[in-house]
Structure 1
Amino acid sequence: MTPATLDTRPELFDALGALVGTPHAEAYTCFCAHQTHGVRALRIERPTLGVLLRGRMRLRGDDNALSMTTGDAFVFTRACSVDTINEPDAAGVFLALVVPLCDEVIAAARLLWARPGARGGPDAIALPALQLSESLATWAASLRRDDPGAARAALASALVALCALGHSAILAPTPPTLAARIRARVAETPDRAWQSSDFETEFGLSGATLRRHLAIEGVGLRDTITDARLACALHWLYTTRWPIQTIAARVGYRSAATFSRRFARRYGAEPLQIGKDEAQSAAAVADGRMPGT
């Protein structure tokens, strides 16, 4: 992937960059960093679309490796785990806009595509964002005028475009695992003192059945809870200016030192290597340092 074609459609990247720091947190997330860093075994919980607005990114999954630069789109076609290295640009900013694809968007795309989604294929793909320019521009415009229905329709259109490019695997149904359902529940209140009984009640399972299902998936309950908490911390490190102590407390750790050790053991990066915040990214946009400008 190269940014050589960016000048042919800079307005797309201006439109996407204008979303940085705006109040549409439920629709997308802007991940910002200012140091080169790697994240080990980053868990992607559902099909996801992203655009790299600044910097470079390298991904390695179970079945492929990708290298992307400013102006590339990346798509996770299903839940998966990847290793990533994120590198800021010459001005010291890494910025990616990431859109988890909700069930309604995928269902709408299935209706529009009207063919079964292919089975198999890579977990992650990359392509120039300009190949999805019409859908992405419509999505951004819909969000700016506070029209979520039109925004979801634009994302469904983007998925149909991906299918036409040979990536219909993103439409194949993939029911969430029990561990994924537990992580989603923990993410709602990561500082809670979660117990097995909470999930037994939530999912209508006995303790023995819960443990057996998790064992089949190759995970344990305590590790699953910890994984969910640390994933929340990773998200906040990328998207807020909160101090490490605040983030640690919000994910259930009384000690920032203990949190930092467990975070580094899980992701292979220190918390201080990641961040800082969307406000800094918005300032970069205001300075005119977006792709194509």
Structure 2
Amino acid sequence: MAIQAVNHTQKIMTTAEITACHSHVLHRVTLFTPALCHVRKGSKMLQWGERVLTVGKESLILFPAGIELKIANTPETGKYHSDMVYLTQDILRDFRQNHVGSLAPGSWDSLSVPFDTHTRLMWDSLLQAMRNQSPHPLQVHIVQGLLLALHLAGNAGVLLRNRHDPLAEQIEQIFLTDPAREWSVDDVAQQIYMSGSSLRRRLALEDKSFRSILEGVRMGCALHSLQTTELSVGQIANESGYASASRFTARFRQRFGLVPSALRHAMRHP
């Protein structure tokens, strides 16, 4: 059940609840904006590279933007339940500016942070403020407090790292404004004031391709819609840029390791 639908083009934080009744595994999941997650019931397994981490309700998960993960959600007594808060680059940029020179370095080993008193207090306050639709400046003030609590414990660095693929990130953000659009290289190049050939060349230096970025954005948006809305698979396919639901299903399975209907079944049926 979604608390507040995530719109990646907004410059505000958003939050969602993700629930499931059956265990399921998702391959090659990439978040396009940093996020925080707390598993209220059940557990979440994360794998990136050779590293594997299993997290329960006593910890807060820190998702940096742009890393590819394998994720497994496992219910407890028939129920998996987690809260997600999607941050914005503006919020993180402001925090870096306010605390420049004093940030803990962070590491990929700190994707999961055990709750301490201050972090738990700020996390609960943030969720309550967002659920109550408190004024946006108040929500920003609280999330800055949460980041500060993480920083004081030496755990904020992983969220605050700069992406290593700035051009790819810019292109992702353009695609997110309209994932279903038939984007061309020239369309995007014009928006970022460079030629199509320069765009391709710079992406090649980052070991990226135009089509793979577009496919990743479409799949990421589709995954989020499946987990947080009641839209049909056909509607989600259409909104994600796929005219054929069968083609969408094949792409989804190829990327995440299961078909959309299997994910919906895992989430809905005890």
Question: TM bucket by the smaller chain?
Answer: 0.7 to 0.9
Determine whether 1:166 maps to 2:147.
Answer: no
Contact 2:48 2:70 in 1 (8 A): yes
Question: Which residue is equivalent to 1:232?
Answer: 221
1:35 aligns with 2:22: yes
- The TM-score with structure 1 as length reference comes to 0.79
Question: How far did 1:64 drift?
Answer: 3.3
2:69 maps to which of 76, 79, 82? 82
Query: Against the structure 1 CA distance between its residues 224 and 177, is the aligned structure 2 distance closer, same or farther, given a 3 Å change threshold?
Result: same
What is the RMSD computed on CA atoms of the aligned residues? 2.7
Number of the residue aligned with 2:135: 147
CA contact (8 A) 2:43 2:80 kept: yes
Which residue does the alignment assign to 1:49?
Answer: 36
Gaps of 5+ in 1: 1-19, 281-293
1:95 aligned onto 2:81 = yes
Quote the offset at 1:259 in angstroms. 0.7
Confirm or deny: 8 A CA contact 1:109 1:157 kept in the other structure. no
The Cα shift of 1:162 comes to 1.1
What are the within-5 Å matches in structure 2 for residues 243-258 of structure 1? 243-258=232-247
TM-score in terms of structure 2 length? 0.85
Structure 1 counterpart of 2:96, from 84, 102, 110 = 110
Q: Structure 1 residue 108: deviation in Å?
A: 4.1
Q: What CA distance in whole angstroms lies between the structure 1 residues aligned with 2:260 and 2:30? A: 17
Deviations 1:235-259 (A, max 9, x none): 1110112121111111121211111
| Alignment partners' CA distance in 1, 2:238 and 2:66 | 28
2:177 is matched with which residue: 172, 180, 188?
188
Question: Distance between the aligned counterparts of 1:122 and 1:253, measured in 2?
Answer: 35
| Partner residue, 2:197 | 208
- Measured after TM superposition, the shift of residue 34 of structure 1 is 2.9
Contact kept, 8 Å, 2:18 with 2:81, in 1: the verdict is yes
AA matched with 2:249 = S
Once residues 4 and 72 of structure 2 are traced to their aligned partners in structure 1, the CA distance between those partners, rounded to angstroms, is: 28
2:33 corresponds to which letter in structure 1? R
Structure 2 match to 1:283: none
Aligned residues: 261
Q: Which amino acid aligns with 1:138?
A: S
Find the residue that maps to 1:65 and give its secondary structure. strand
Q: Calculate percent identity across the aligned residue pairs.
A: 22
Deviations along 1:115-170, one digit per CA (max 9) or x if unpaired, are 34344611752133454121122213323152221111111111111112222413
CA distance in 1, matches of 2:89, 2:230: 31
1:12 is matched with none
Aligned residue type for 2:237: A
